[in-house]
Structure 1
Amino acid sequence: MSDFPELPQLTELITQGRFSEAKQIAEKLPDIVQQENAFGMIYYYEGKLDDAVEHFKKALEIDPINSDVLFNYGKALFDKKDYKEAWRYLLRIHNKDWAVYDLLGDTQLVQGNIPMALYYYRKAAEISPLEEMKKKYLEYKKQYHQDVNIAILCLPGLDNFIHDIADILGEVYNVRLVVSANGNEIVQAYEWADIVWLEWANELAVEVTNKLEKKGKKIVCRLHPGKLIENQFLYRINWSKIDKIIIGCERLKDNLAVYHPSVFYHIREKYWIANYGVLLAGTFFCISDR
């Protein structure tokens, strides 16, 4: 609707609850996407969420990357408590402003995904001119902080997939990302941690699980699909010290069972299939049973 010259009038009618008059103007819109978006907004403010959603969907069928429609659709889905779909469509907005990040945070907060919610609220607070947004972020960050130390250990050159996760988890926990082959650095981080995250099932995981005492720590290891079939480090890792094995999809589990059956036997009750959002959800799976 941003290119429609009578947008201020239409918006004023909607906010005043003069829906019949707003519909008359919306019907005259020459652009079908603008028209469907306008009707979606009218029905949204009328409290007719199902009708609003249908109109936003029709607009997106024609223009699937329209930022205004994507936001409106995401907000309507959120109000319908379809939080996952709201999140998915909001992510498609190319140039996200603070309001988009704020709503993204809301979709995660209501699902208990606190680290991700705080990450989005921080993004919103960084670009919002409103002090209320900054206050919201800081208050939630204070409320949900847990004094739990997580050391993420990774060898150099293998850290492509972990920086964002470390950043997001750092919104709630005390996180150290150690990308190093230096034994002293690794041991220091290990000693400091309550939870140790081994980013790959490789030689570092072999060293940590065989040479360092567990000392009551939670230890997790993430398996990546790259070169999994020929990975011989799997047979040298002490799986008895690892509490959870993170895998990204069911097929990875199946490949383990087929190509490394003896390893799969040891981890069959420990693996956890987690996509990116699930991985960060709630209070983090290995903390929840502390």
Structure 2
Amino acid sequence: MGERRVVVVGYEAAELLEIASVTSTLIAANFHSRRPEYAVSLATPGGRPITTASGLVLQAQETLEQVVGPLDTLVVAGGIGHLDAVSNRLLIAHVRRLARESRRVASVCTGAEILATAGLLDGRRATTHWQWASTLAFNHPRVAVDPAPIFIRDGNVSTSAGVTSALDLTLAFVEEDLGPELARAVARVLVTYLQRPGNQAQMSMFTDAPPPADTLVRRIVDHVAANLREDLSAAALAASAGVSERHLTRLFLKHLGESPGRYVRRARVEAAANLLATTSLPMSAIAARCGLGTAETLRQAFTDRYGVAPSHYRRTQSAQASA
């Protein structure tokens, strides 16, 4: 087949890294295929240069209003400028028009807000950067917003999380179009993971900010992180805190949005993910160190959380795999 025509929609204060993650990945695919697989262009309102969120200026190759399909893929970038872009009725209308003329439609980060405003996410599951997920859900109640995955594909419409998740989504497109071997070659050139699973969680709870505002909850959370292999049942945690199980559960639901049991399970699985990616410890040792007991319990809990087996996660996410 001929070149796949890909148009990336940008606007004032769009995020440069989100645009470049898409375009650079596809151009790298062209290089490794040794033929022009993708014809990639940046389209902006009026065809004007845009000053990205980082302050650098990008020159457009196409005028958004003049782009005519058919297109293989339409990608809408995110960035702080999306707050103004969703109010640009012409931009929204042309995104809606081009989506009808595209085989595949995608957004990066807060570009999901633009797709949603155009009505393209109604009745679909979608994701966006975790910081903006609640806003997307509030503004667009007909969209089933899931803030956890790196990207979601629902039919021919894909949405991805913040910034570098554009790499993961675009690598998934390359693998779909050109096969896993070429996708692996592109990932090596970009010095990135082959491909993080789309349903991998966006962020670790151990880097999440801010910590719980409640002093008691914060103390218990610190205790959990430092004692994963110990008894962390609700009864044990309540006894440690000097409160009833019922009261502890109320505090966790209020400040963390989940019960003590679910929080502990998540803490253990995320700790296991870190050990899988950074050590060569056997599964049984990781399970014991994280308080999950057996390798089979680790496998079940890990698959529930990430949607992939621990062995797959280690193959694709370890330092050795990305070398």
Q: Normalized against structure 1, the TM-score is what?
A: 0.30
Q: Normalized against structure 2, the TM-score is what?
A: 0.28
Higher helix share: 1
